Amino acid sequence: MEIYMMQHGEALPKEEDPERGLSPDGKRQIDLSAKALKRMGLGFDLIICSPKKRARQTAEIVAKELGYPIDKIEVSPDFKPLSPPADAISYLKSFVDKGRIFIAGHLPSLAEIASELMSESHITIQFQMGCVCCIDVEELPTHKGKLMWHLTPKQLALIASSQ
């Protein structure tokens, strides 16, 4: 199973949007990342996101770009910013029949999930808004996942705009 994780894009300030949806720059950022994923030939068997507005919007932009049905996006509180990584991994375990799973989420939970998937001790993966990493796992739960790649928003923008 390949697990792809993306931190949501830049959000609006709480004063402007109490739900903190994506800012115009955040939408552009995620749009470029999604275009890069498409250019890389990726498709997902399942898209999951946190219930927070910015993560839902991120998942929807990716889904739309890749032709994934928006109404099939799974929304789970197990991917909120402070959710324990064990809860998220337990949730993922119910989808072991899926080959490629995309998660739109937040810090610190995404970094903690990645660490838990790859090691019994804490490791750090630097997430940025709009970045994507791919971790390959043979089974869940595991501490033996392999980081296949990690692309920053700048790298994804280059991929999206390359001819």
| Residue 78, both tokens | 């197990």
88 assigned to some structural domain: yes
DSSP at 78: G
155 assigned to some structural domain: no
Q: How many CB atoms lie within 10 A of CB 39?
A: 14
CATH code, domain carrying 101:
3.40.50.1240
DSSP at 18: T
62 assigned to some structural domain: yes
Measured CA to CA, the distance from residue 135 to residue 118 in angstroms comes to 8
Number of domains in the chain: 1
Write out pLDDT tens, residues 38-63: 999 999 999 999 999 999 999 999 99
Computed over every residue of the chain, the mean pLDDT equals 95
Counts for the chain of helices (H) and strands (E), in that order: 5, 6
Provide the whole-model pTM.
Answer: 0.95
Domain hosting residue 90, numbered range: 2-12+19-143
38 assigned to some structural domain: yes
